[in-house]
A and B are shown apart, each in its own frame.
Chain A
Amino acid sequence: MATAHDDMSWVRRNRMTLTPLLFLAPGVLFFLAYVIIPILQSFNISLYDWDGLGQATYVGLDNYRELATDRAFEISLWNNVKWLVLYLLAIPAGLLIALFLNQTIVGIRLYKSLFFFPFVISQVVVGLVFSWFYLPREGLLNAVLGVVGMDPINVLGDPTLATYGIIAAGLWPQTAYCMILYLTGLNAVDPEQIEAGRLDGAKGWRMLWHVILPQLKPATFIAFVVTIIGALRSFDLISIMTNGGPFGSTRVLSFYMFEKALSEYGFRMGYGSAIAVVLFLIMLVFIGYFLWSMYQDEKAARH
């Protein structure tokens, strides 16, 4: 009886520690098992030669040494850079459309939703839609080019064009995402500051640059985060539109890793993991920066 009572009071006394612990446990355990521990395991696997079934042999840094001379890896890395740089165009493009649509005419709400539409569709369907759009004979792109009097082009069949064609397809939903972020941001812009700006004679670009954009900073930050992460995660579009081709010219690290580890090109789990580790480390630079800025915000919120 006495011990039961003691138990009760122990629970009661420590309830401010126990409650969060119990509430966190399922989520944290799940997340550890499926996300955090696998990251560490991938680092480990990248030091082995392993086909995924048989015995793994420890090879030290051999996989990384092989990467250094792998031409396909180099092409993938360069394509990742192209993705990263060109994908950022979604941010100004999204801002532009948001500014264009930030009006109150009849039906504007529906227009805004329809402009946002591409983001809701899966990347698989976006990829299919654009590969049909680019078709040399049946595609609408060449039909339009024909009207203007230009020669037809085979975007996805041309190694120099294909990656840009895929990035353009990716920019479509990403621009819609940035647009919606900026529309929300524009909604919250302080009208008094705009008035004050007008009194100071600020108009057009000057107003946008000096008064509006500083107030859109949180929207811009999120737009950067989602666009950079989106660019480095690109996989679906490549897999659907070109499957890495023509001649491997559209591979990026995420796709090349999948090819090496899981597709018909052989089950090289160790080598694939080494590619994944490189991609992870690139992303870690950005993740670190994002977390650092969020941490600054948290600190500011406490004071």
Chain B
Amino acid sequence: MFPTPIEKRSRGAQITYQALVPLALIMWLLPLIAVAMFSIRPLADFTNGNYWGLPSSFEFFTNYGKVFLESDMPRYMLNSVLITVPTVIGAVALSCMTGFALGIYRFRGNLLIFFMFIAGNFVPFQILMVPVRDLTVSAGLYDTKLGLVLFHIAFQTGFCTLFMRNFIRALPFELIEAARVEGIAEWRIFWYIVLPLMKPAIAALSVLIFTFIWNDYFWAIVLTQGPDAQPVTAGITSFNSQFVAQYHLMSAGSIVAALPPVAMFFMMQRHFIAGLTLGAVK
């Protein structure tokens, strides 16, 4: 292990290290801690200039209650769910198929199609913006959740295909050859042999795509407009203009908006990190 394990160092070094880690963590998360502290303060603290002293009263329930009851926040959150979940399902389903085709079969153009997916996944969004917006408007899907979902599925298929194809490549190919010798149809090989083995990849991709799509802001402002379809990342700006300079409510709102991917991450941590670091180890 590198660096040298702390257990092998002196007692003093061990104690210093154990004190240093939480201290470093507090420094690292300082901006976030500041926001969390803002979100439980009463308005009076801000008007009195008491930003960093003890809160004059503890207003967790009032502030967060206001976010849920007196704003469009619940609607934006619901929109986010209704955009994110179908995208995850669509992109994962499509890429299971493309990944299978590119990972198992040898044919001309295989690598070319694979590289098209990878390259497309890296392009700047702005090169797609005008045509995609146009396409969405002319399909009558501007300012709808479906319009956003369709684009997200298509774009995420690039990254998901890269992921799935490499995962399938690492599966034991003998299994598939043995099935073919048995005369099993190709689609059955996909459904009964490959798909069950892809469960870890599906889990990892699902949490990753969930986070990516939940956090998307650019396409939300390009393809949607109001509380009917906008996800929470875009909605938070209208929320903030509703509560201008009321930092306690704006902070509480941001924390609520940020929470679902955070919860997802902590619940599915192993899968999340496995997905994110695919290829970091050979």
Spell out A's residues near B (CB within 8 Å): 15-17, 19-21, 23-24, 26-28, 30-31, 33-39, 41-42, 45, 52, 99-105, 108, 111, 113-118, 120-125, 128-130, 132-133, 137-138, 140, 143, 172, 177, 180-181, 184-189, 191, 194, 207-208, 211-212, 218-219, 222, 225, 229, 232-233, 235-236, 239-240, 253-254, 257-258, 261-262, 269, 272-273, 275-277, 279-280, 283, 286-287, 290-291, 294-295, 298
| Contact in complex: B118, A30 (CB < 8 Å) | no
Chain B interfacial residues counted at CB < 8 A: 101
Residue B193 is within 8 A (CB to CB) of chain A in the complex: no
Residue B157 is within 8 A (CB to CB) of chain A in the complex: yes
Residues of B183-208 whose CB lies within 8 A of A: 185-187, 190
Residue of B nearest to A50 (CB): B130
- Closest chain-A Cβ to B197's Cβ sits at a distance in Å of 16
Residue of B nearest to A298 (CB): B111
B15-49 CB contact bits vs A (8 Å, 1 = yes)?
Answer: 00110011011001111101100100000001001
| Contact in complex: B116, A128 (CB < 8 Å) | no
CB-CB under 8 A from A102, the residues of chain B are: 1-3
CB-CB under 8 A from A286, the residues of chain B are: 122
A sample of 6 cross-chain residue pairs with beta-carbon separation below 8 angstroms, ordered by A number, consists of A27-B94, A41-B130, A45-B131, A122-B261, A222-B277, A262-B222
- Closest chain-A Cβ to B185's Cβ sits at a distance in Å of 8
Residue B161 is within 8 A (CB to CB) of chain A in the complex: yes
- Closest chain-B Cβ to A221's Cβ sits at a distance in Å of 8
Q: Contacts A121-B261, A180-B277, A280-B123 known; A212 to B2 CB distance under 8 Å? A: yes
Q: Contacts A19-B105, A28-B98, A140-B31 known; A125 to B131 CB distance under 8 Å? A: no
Spell out B's residues near A (CB within 8 Å): 1-3, 5-7, 14, 17-18, 21-22, 24-25, 28-32, 34-35, 38, 46, 49, 51-52, 94-95, 97-98, 100-102, 104-105, 107, 110-111, 113, 115-120, 122-135, 150-151, 153-155, 157-158, 161, 185-187, 190, 211, 214-218, 221-222, 233, 236-237, 240, 247, 250-251, 254-255, 257-258, 261-262, 265-266, 269, 273, 276-277, 279-282
| Contact in complex: B277, A38 (CB < 8 Å) | no
| Contact in complex: B282, A218 (CB < 8 Å) | yes
With A105-B18, A138-B46 given, can you name 6 additional A-B contacts, CB distance below 8 Å?
A: A23-B101, A38-B131, A42-B131, A129-B254, A186-B1, A235-B218
CB-CB under 8 A from B21, the residues of chain A are: 100-101, 105, 108, 111
| Contact in complex: B155, A280 (CB < 8 Å) | no
- Closest chain-A Cβ to B44's Cβ sits at a distance in Å of 14
A38–B124 CA distance with the chains assembled, in angstroms: 12
A142–B115 CA distance with the chains assembled, in angstroms: 48
Question: Ordered nearest first, which 5 A-B pairs have the shortest CB separation?
Answer: A122-B215, A34-B154, A38-B131, A27-B98, A20-B101
Most chain B CB neighbours (cut-off 10 Å) among A117, A280, A295: A117
| Contact in complex: B94, A219 (CB < 8 Å) | no
CB-CB under 8 A from A17, the residues of chain B are: 107
Count A-B contacts at CB 8 Å: 290
- Closest chain-B Cβ to A135's Cβ sits at a distance in Å of 8
A17–B14 CA distance with the chains assembled, in angstroms: 61
Of A34, A111, A172, the contact of B132 (CB 8 Å cutoff) = A34
Residue of A nearest to B273 (CB): A180
Q: Contacts A38-B135, A291-B119 known; A117 to B29 CB distance under 8 Å? A: yes
